[in-house]
Chains A and B, each alone.
Chain A
Amino acid sequence: MNIFLEIIVYGAVQSSIYALLAMGFCLIFGVANIVNLAHTALYMIGAYLIYTFFSVLQLNLAMAILLSVVSVALLATGMYRFCIRPVMVSEWSVLMITISLAMFFQQLMIFVYGPADRNVEGFIGKKLTLFGAVDIDAQRLLTLGVSLVLLVLLWLFIYRTRMGKAILAVAQDREAALFMGINSERVYLTVIAISAVLAAVAGAFIAPTIGARPEMWAPTLGKIFAVVVLGGIGSLEGTILAALLIGYLEVVISFSISSYFGEIVSVVVILLMLSFRPSGLLGKRIEA
């Protein structure tokens, strides 16, 4: 019973982080057709910045989070403006440049902070006992709560605001949107900034639990890809569902078999989905 509850809570936290990251990844891909392989590098940078601002510089929590998130958003828009946009004509060049940027950021973090893990103290230090049975750090629950709030906000932004409508329009048909007077460049920048904010928040809130490591981006990128493939590109509901499935599968298998098999769940999911249903669970059909 105890383990069962633990799985429920840990799975929810894991899934919420994957949902935050995969949403951002999906959003850029669906709207701007950019496969941003540096997306999880932004998540890593988010983790390192919270370490810098919160643990090293001892700023207060809200300030530290705000600074980290804004810096990552600025970095991402700069990256788009100076590195991605010039090569956007070729899908292939975008892949290459974003993976090179991810590697560059990894090396930069090693250069600045050294190769060892950096630990961040919890935002709220307590351990809570849930349902009288499960011990869990309050940090994990906080992460879960913040992710849920952000996902709801994102949903409201996309479906309830003017800018959201513009984003949907550009995603559907860029030229038609252009004819309707929508500035697609501004839409792209907005989407990039939003996805960077989501990644930075994920990184900042997970940092106290797993620490900041220079190579943390690569395995996460694989998992995000699994979520995206499972959910289907361009389907926000599918992405959430897929994040839940992958998150829980991972936690269940880690608990019951071994953490390594938890890690490779995503690879198996990717290969199976691509073989049998490349459009994803809820995605529209793609020409794969």
Chain B
Amino acid sequence: MPEQGNRSIFSGERVGLLIALAVLSAVPLFIENRAIVEIIILANIYAVYVASWDILCGYTGQVSFGHALFVGGGAYTAALLNFYFKFPPWMTIFFGGGVAALFGLIIGTPCLRLRGPYFALATFAAAAFPYGLTDVFWEVTGGLDGLYGIAPIWPTLMGKYYFSVLLTAVCCGLVYLGGRSKKGLILKSIREDEVAAMASGVNTTAYKLTTFVISGFLAGVAGAFYSHNQLHVGPETLSINLSILVIIMSVVGGIGTITGPIAGAYLLTIFNEMMREWEEVRLLIYTAAVVLILLFVPKGVLPTLSDGIKQWIKRKGG
């Protein structure tokens, strides 16, 4: 797993992040094309999915295969509240996050006592359960088609875009600061050696559970945002494919670095859209690429690239 050492190639990581945020905010001022702006909104949402996954899995080493449970939980809560009870989006987003956090508590309590593969498989199985529920209660949830006609977060594209930037900045910022804080360090100590962390007086289960709930909350908020963005909610927000996509994005970006997986989310969302032309082979290439990356670039594409550039600069300078 990647170590703390691979920071960004810029001396001040935070300067880099601020520049990234500035670029992100400037996007709709320079890009006229609606489709591209929509794609970046999607990438912003994915960035939150991935960041919330990374704080749980990259930091504590508990690989969850059920992140879609949180995303879908948030998405459906928001959509149902808005569709049937006409709750405004700013409220449903928090309710979505709350329900996802509750899922985190319910699933986390039995699952977090487990380690490694047990945890991964338990989350995998737990996430399968609400997916089927959407089909059983199709009269309420719209079944496989989902529900159409969810209220938009903001009527104009520009407003929607800036809301998504705000969402990303707040959620990813929280995760980033949390990860770099003392608490983040404790989480990493759990990943490196849970027994040693326990011996040092860390209540590892409480830490893991809290992280699970926070991770759930953020993913739920992003999921709720997603349904208000698409004006639609469907079972694909709960599918195993989404859970795995989140993991893939983190792997490409370099797990456990927060910034890496976020960058991975942007990279892959854009890559994904570029490949729309080869629709039939898109996912085949995608999955094959992941297997190859895991085999040959296990640290993640972005950290390896940044290390390479760092060395190249050093060689040039020295």
A residues touching B (Cβ–Cβ < 8 Å)? 29, 35, 37, 83, 86-87, 90-93, 95-97, 99-101, 103-104, 106-108, 110-111, 218-219, 221-222, 225-226, 229, 258, 260, 263-264, 266-267, 270-271, 274-275, 278, 287-288
Give bound CA distance, A103 to B244, whole Å: 9
> Which stretch in B76-84, B90-98, B281-289 binds the other chain?
B281-289
Q: Are B295 and A87 within 8 A (Cβ)?
A: yes
B109 interface residue per 8 A CB criterion: yes
B139 interface residue per 8 A CB criterion: no
Q: Are A278 and B114 within 8 A (Cβ)?
A: yes
CB within 8 Å for A258 and B244 given contacts A271-B110, A274-B113:
no
Q: Are B114 and A260 within 8 A (Cβ)?
A: no
CB within 8 Å for A91 and B117 given contacts A96-B294, A100-B294, A260-B136:
yes
**Which A residues touch B291, using CB under 8 A?**
83, 97, 100-101, 104
CB within 8 Å for A96 and B63 given contacts A218-B128, A271-B126:
yes
B residues touching A (Cβ–Cβ < 8 Å)? 1, 61, 63, 65, 107, 109-111, 113-118, 120-122, 124-126, 128-129, 132-133, 135-136, 240-241, 244, 247-248, 251, 280-281, 283-284, 286-288, 290-291, 294-295, 298
Q: Are A92 and B132 within 8 A (Cβ)?
A: no
CB within 8 Å for A225 and B135 given contacts A83-B295, A96-B294, A104-B284:
no
**Which A residues touch B248, using CB under 8 A?**
100
**Shortest beta-carbon distance from A159 to chain B in Å:** 26
CB within 8 A of A260: which of B124, B132, B298?
A: B132
Q: Are A219 and B117 within 8 A (Cβ)?
A: no
Chain A interface helix/strand/loop/mixed: helix
Give bound CA distance, A258 to B121, whole Å: 25
CB within 8 Å for A93 and B124 given contacts A100-B248, A260-B135:
no
Chain B interface helix/strand/loop/mixed: helix
**Shortest beta-carbon distance from B254 to chain A in Å:** 13
13 further interface pairs, Cβ-Cβ under 8 Å (given A103-B287, A111-B281, A226-B125): A90-B1, A96-B251, A99-B244, A106-B287, A108-B284, A222-B121, A225-B122, A225-B125, A260-B132, A260-B135, A270-B121, A271-B122, A274-B111
Listed residue (A93, A103, A263, A270) with the most chain B CB atoms within 10 angstroms of its CB:
A103
**Which B residues touch A101, using CB under 8 A?**
291
**Which A residues touch B295, using CB under 8 A?**
83, 86-87, 97
Give bound CA distance, A93 to B291, whole Å: 11
**Which B residues touch A106, using CB under 8 A?**
287
CB within 8 A of A87: which of B114, B121, B298?
A: B298
Q: Are A274 and B287 within 8 A (Cβ)?
A: no
**Which A residues touch B244, using CB under 8 A?**
99-100, 103
CB within 8 A of A95: which of B1, B113, B120?
A: B120
**Shortest beta-carbon distance from A87 to chain B in Å:** 7
Using CB atoms, name the residue of chain B closest to A272: B110
**Which A residues touch B129, using CB under 8 A?**
264, 267
Q: Are B294 and A107 within 8 A (Cβ)?
A: no
Give bound CA distance, A266 to B128, whole Å: 10
Q: Are B122 and A93 within 8 A (Cβ)?
A: no
**Shortest beta-carbon distance from B107 to chain A in Å:** 8
Give bound CA distance, A288 to B117, whole Å: 11
Give bound CA distance, A260 to B120, whole Å: 23
CB within 8 Å for A219 and B128 given contacts A92-B1, A93-B298:
yes
**Shortest beta-carbon distance from A274 to chain B in Å:** 5
Give bound CA distance, A100 to B118, whole Å: 18
7 pairs, A vs B, C-beta closer than 8 Å = A87-B298, A92-B1, A93-B294, A99-B244, A107-B286, A274-B118, A278-B114
**Which B residues touch A35, using CB under 8 A?**
116-117, 120-121
CB within 8 A of A100: which of B280, B281, B287?
A: B287
Give bound CA distance, A111 to B122, whole Å: 30
Using CB atoms, name the residue of chain B closest to A270: B125
**Shortest beta-carbon distance from B217 to chain A in Å:** 21
Using CB atoms, name the residue of chain A closest to B137: A260
Give bound CA distance, A65 to B192, whole Å: 47
**Which B residues touch A103, using CB under 8 A?**
241, 244, 287, 290
Using CB atoms, name the residue of chain B closest to A225: B121
Q: Are B114 and A274 within 8 A (Cβ)?
A: yes
**Which A residues touch B111, using CB under 8 A?**
271, 274
Q: Are B114 and A107 within 8 A (Cβ)?
A: no
Q: Are A288 and B124 within 8 A (Cβ)?
A: no
Q: Are B298 and A111 within 8 A (Cβ)?
A: no
Using CB atoms, name the residue of chain A closest to B247: A96
Give bound CA distance, A70 to B248, whole Å: 31
**Which B residues touch A218, using CB under 8 A?**
128, 240
**Shortest beta-carbon distance from B261 to chain A in Å:** 14
CB within 8 A of B122: which of A86, A110, A270?
A: A270
Give bound CA distance, A200 to B129, whole Å: 27
**Which A residues touch B287, using CB under 8 A?**
100, 103-104, 106-107
Q: Are A92 and B113 within 8 A (Cβ)?
A: no
Give bound CA distance, A90 to B191, whole Å: 13
CB within 8 Å for A221 and B124 given contacts A91-B117, A95-B63:
yes
